[in-house]
Structure formats: structure tokens, C-alpha cells
Amino acid sequence: MSASLREVPGVLFGDINFASGLLVLEYDPEHDPRERVIAVVRASGHGVEPLARAAEQVPPPSWWQEHRSAVAVLVSGASIALGYVTSALNESPLISAAFFALAIIAGGALTLRRALVSLRARMLDMNVLMTVAVVGAAAIGEWQEGAAVIFLFALGGWLESRALVRTRRSIRELVDLTPAQARIRRGEAETLVRPDEVRVGETLVVRPGERVALDGVIVAGRSALDESAITGESVPAEKGPGDQVFAGSLNTSGLLEVTVTAVAEDTTIARIIHLVEDAQATKAPAQRIVDRFSRWYTPSVVALAVGIAVAPPLAGAVFGISFGSFSEWLYRALVLLVVACPCALVISTPVAIVSAITRATRDGMLVKGGAFLELAAKARAVAFDKTGTLTRGRPAVVFVHASDERALLETAASLEAHSNHPLAVAVVRYAAERGIAPRPVTELEELAGRGVAGILDDSRVYVVSPAFGTDLAKIPSSLELSLAAHESAGETVLVVVRDSSVAGYVSVADEVRPEAAEVVAALHDAGIEHTVMLTGDNERTAQGVAMATGVREYLSRLLPEDKTAAVRELKGRYGVVAMVGDGINDAPALATADIGIAMGAAGSDTAIETADVALMRDDLRALPRFFALGRRARAIITENVVVSIAVKLVVLLLALLGAATLGMAVFADTGVALLVILNSLRLLRAR
């Protein structure tokens, strides 16, 4: 179809993405070819509408438009059945031939139209081969064979279109998630408007049970939002003032007021839809190989069929030896034409790739194209950024040592409550989670590079580093050993000193994600040979995180260019390498890797646009699923290709020996194509 469009005068580029149902056309405005392009598309049996009109409230297709292919298949099948019945009852051969002819007309009308379009574009495709085979069968009196061929081909085409509708459904479901109206507060009134009429900065009101119409930030209210369409997370996320919300999310409980941060076409879900459509249209390497193969394969088959039909009878006439009748060799040539149609082979890769991308999207993984799924199956090493990837990216209290833990936390939080330092924020947050509120402190003093001091309950209190703590109080040797152990694990220790005696200490670290060790182990079990952590942090901290997560190698104190060099070195050692990061930092390393994977990308424009794969949820557990999906996709593509070629070779050999019928040829073509489609659709199932 795309090649036919490019043959229209004035068309510079034309491409059809059947996965999303979009036709992209680039043309010379001086020779506007749009009417002719529409005519070509409709001549091939497809409907076409301008995108602008399709976005409007257009009437749904009529019953006939929606079901005419099914009706044609039904009429063709019924006519064949009547033809066999009349033949079995020994009725006039003309009656049975008429029923078979009706079956050919009903089932083959669309195939004939598409064949004529292909011939005008000087192309030989499967529609041309099928048309020649059916016309040839009728010409030598094999009406029932011709009818069976066209019926099964039409049935296969209809089932393929149903499968394509199923793969498109994921995009349609995403589109349907965005409400048709947005409730905007303008002045004192609430107004329902179309989302594309809303400007950035306006206030969106979302009632319980409604979906969020646009991306924004909550300014009032709290609720649990179902974000499964964007992140793949089935558990609703609790959100309140300052938290980001995404268009398409379902507000399950409270009333929310949201400041809009993106217009309709720039929302996260709109970008996801656009990128999924592009990904489904992008051909994987295996698919490009099959396409190149098909270009010379089909003409070669036609030439071979002509040779089989003509050469033996001609040789017999020349040498006076009977090799069989012309009709006999013509029948063999027709069988060859049908069995040689590359339907199953051509469709073996794209259906699998589209199904896998659809499955990934449902699971909260945005894959930019089939090439990255193929690479995922070949990956042997995975490199991780540390901060924000293997760790949460923010300091958290990991240990408290004190005879009275609650009193120690109250003291530390009271002094640290006046600081914005990440360590101070971690201590205050940890105390608040346990219901401990800061108390008033007087004579608060910042000790640069050491800590903080103040008066609490008439006592001089310090929260300082261990090195400065030894200047303020005597630290017992047992406590010194404990402090050293925490520091050697890469943690930052804050010692609390009250009235010249050590009350205890708080240990703070960039907390390792609880799922990190499980994920790294799962990658190793799944065949990833090597994992490495790349970080700019110090050796001690890097070693502690590496031990906690189970990565097999770590490199510390790396600058961005060092990380890029490390990825190159890994590629030299292991071949295909994936790099996992936040999609913004370490961009050179992500770009250098064969697969750049950004995690927690929901709401991050840069991560979604730049990464090869974006894990929408801030959770590493999607990573093993991505590599497993890549391996499943490769296995299914391999199965499809092997079965397609093997069946065709067997029937092709039988055809050359005269032992194959047109029915066997149809199975080798349309039957195997259906098996390939059904096999590929297994990728839509969750594992």
C-alpha cells in the first residue's frame, strides 16, 4: 500500500501505520495529490478520513461499512457449501459451477481491487498472486479449487483485520481515558470546556469518580488516584498538595483542585500515545530483513511459476516426449503461486512486535521501537546509575542508637528543624513519621561543616559529625566501633551530645531501594551475565550499595565522561549493554548504551523523549519484565519464521512433484499466516 501511494504523482513520501490506522503523506503543494491518494486507498478497500475530521464527533461507520468483509466471507462460504451440495446430488455441473463462481466473486472482490492497485504501482504482491491463481484455476475448470482458495484467503484477511483491531485497542483505550470535558474554575464559577480550550495555569476541579483531564499539580485536597494507565501500577497513589497528577488518572475519593501545567496535546498520556504509535510503526531489524527478502522473492516466484507452466509442455512438444498436459503443469504452477505467497513470513515479525509493544505499554513500559525489544533479548550486561536508580535518591534515617530512642529523635529533630540540609530534612521527616514534633530551641547555632547546636530544656545540645563529637564528649570505645561500622557502610552518622555526654547517634544514608537486590538477582537468573553500578560517589558508599544490591562490579568517583567510557568498555567485553538511569542525568552514558532505560519517567518530558525505554513507574521491578518480554518476543518471532518457511518448503516440494493441491497451498499460506498471528497475540497476555 505504501509503495502504491509513492507512485502517485506529486507524492514525496507516503507511509501507512496499520497498527494505529494513520496515513502520513508528504507531497508537493503545487501538484496536490490528496484526492488521488484517497482514491488509491479506497480502491484497495480501506476507508480514509482527514485526521482533523476524525478528531471531531463524526458519525460511526454504518453497519454495512463495519461488517461488509464478514458478509463477503459468509456469502462466499455459503456459496461453496451449496456448490458441494449440488455437486454431491448430481445436479447440473453448471449449477455447482455457478455457486463456486459466486463464491469467487463474493470472496475475491476485495482481493481483485487490491491486485489492480498493486499492478498500477508495478508491484507483485500476494493479492496479485492469489488473483492469478484463482483466475487460472477457473480457466482450467477447477472452479471448486479456485473458490476454496479465495474463500480461505478472504477468511484469513478478515481474521487478520480482527487481530489488528485488537492490537490497536490499547491506543484507543488510552485515548478514551482522557475526558471529553474539563471542569475549570474561572472566577467564582465552574465551567465545563473541552480540554484543548484550557490554558496552562488555570484551575482544574476534579470531583470524586471523575478522571483528570490535564496534567497538573494539586493545590488543594487529597485523594487516591488510579494511575494504572500511565504507570502500570494497579494500586491507587495517595496524593495531596504539591503532588503531580496526570491526565487520564481516576480520582477515587476526595475533591481536588489542580493547577494545569500542560495543554492537552502536551500531557503525559498524549506523549505516550504518540510515541507508542511511532514505536508500532518503526520496523525492527528482523522485519526489515523480511521486507527486503520479499521484494525479490515474489517476482522470482512468478517467474518460476511461468517456467513450470510453460517449459515442460513446450519441451515435450519440441522433443516429442510427453511430460504431461498443459493444464496439469498450469495447475502445478498455480499451486506454486499460492504456496509461495509470503503472507506468513511477512507478517511474522510486525504482529509480534506490535503485540509486545502493546503489552509493555499496559505494564507501564514505554518502548520506542521493536529494535529495542530485539536488543533486550541479546543484552548480556546491565549498568546502573546509583543515585535515584539503585537508591531512592534522597537521604533517609536507617538506624538510631540510644537508650531512649524517642527522646533522642525529639532532640535531633528540634535542632535540625531549622535547616534545609538534606540530612536535616531526613531526620525531621523520620521523627514526624513516628509522631514526634520538634520543640522550641534557643540560641540555635550553625557549626559550618560540623553540625548544629542550641539550648533545649536548659541543656546545651549538639547534633554533629563523629569527628567533632570527640572534641565535645568522651565516646566509649564500643560506640566508636559501632560508628566506624556505619561509616564504612557508606552511611553518614550524626552524633547527639547533651551536656558533654553522648546521648546516641542517628545514621543517615541514601536508602537502597527495597526491590533493588531482588531485581538484580532476577536479572542474573534470567541470563544477564554482568551487572555494574556506575557512580560519582565515594568508594566506601559505592561499596556499601553494591553489597546491599548484589551488583557484581562497581565503579566510583566517575565523572559523566568516565561513565560513558565505562559503558563503551562494557560493550567491548559483553556486546549488547543496557544502561539504567533517570533519563536526565548521565545522558551521555544512556545514549552510548545499546538500550538507554529511564525509570520513574512519568511526568518527566526529558526522560520520555530521550530514553529508548521509559519505565513510567519509579520501581525497578519492571526491569526484569522488560528483558523477559524481549526474550519472549524473539522466541515467538523465531517460531513464526521457522514454521512459515518449513511448511512452505514442504508444500512447495510437493507442488513441484505434482502431489500438492490448491487446498494444501492455501493452508501453507493463509492457514500458517493465521497460526503466526495467533502465536504473536500470545505476547498480549500478562506474565
Catalytic residues, by residue number, are: 385
Residues counted in the chain: 687
- Of residues 678, 631, 644, the one with CA closest to residue 293: 644
Which residue type does 347 have?
Answer: I
Q: Diameter of the chain by CA atoms?
A: 124
Counting beta carbons within 10 angstroms of the beta carbon of residue 545, is it exposed (0 to 12), middle (13 to 18) or buried (19 or more)? buried
* Residue 35 burial (C-beta neighbours within 10 Å; 0-12, 13-18, 19+): exposed
Q: Could you give phi then psi for residue 330, rounded to 5 degrees? A: -65, -40
First to last CA, the chain: 35
Edge to edge, the sheet with strand 530-534 lists 365-367, 613-615, 595-599, 577-581, 381-385, 530-534, 553-555
> Residue 581 in 3-state DSSP?
strand
CA dihedral of residues 469, 471, 476, 477 (deg, nearest 10)? 100
Residue whose C-alpha is closest to residue 323's, from 314, 331, 332: 314
Written in H, E and C, the secondary structure of 206-254 is ECCCCECCCCEEEEECCEEEECHHHHCCCCCEEECCCCEECCCCEECCC
Residue with cell 520479499: 294
b/e map 364-386, b = 16+ CB within 10 Å: bbbbbbbbbbbbbbebbbbbbbb
With contact defined as beta carbons under 8 Å apart, do 373 and 348 qualify? no
Residue type present at position 72? A
d(CA 481, CA 32): 82
| Long-range CB pairs of 288-294, under 8 A, 24+ apart, other chains included | 290/342, 290/345, 290/346, 290/348, 290/349, 290/641, 291/346, 293/342, 293/345, 294/342, 294/345, 294/346
d(CA 39, CA 55): 21
Q: How distant, in Å, are the alpha carbons of 62, 162, 478, 490, 491 from that of 485?
A: 75, 63, 11, 9, 9
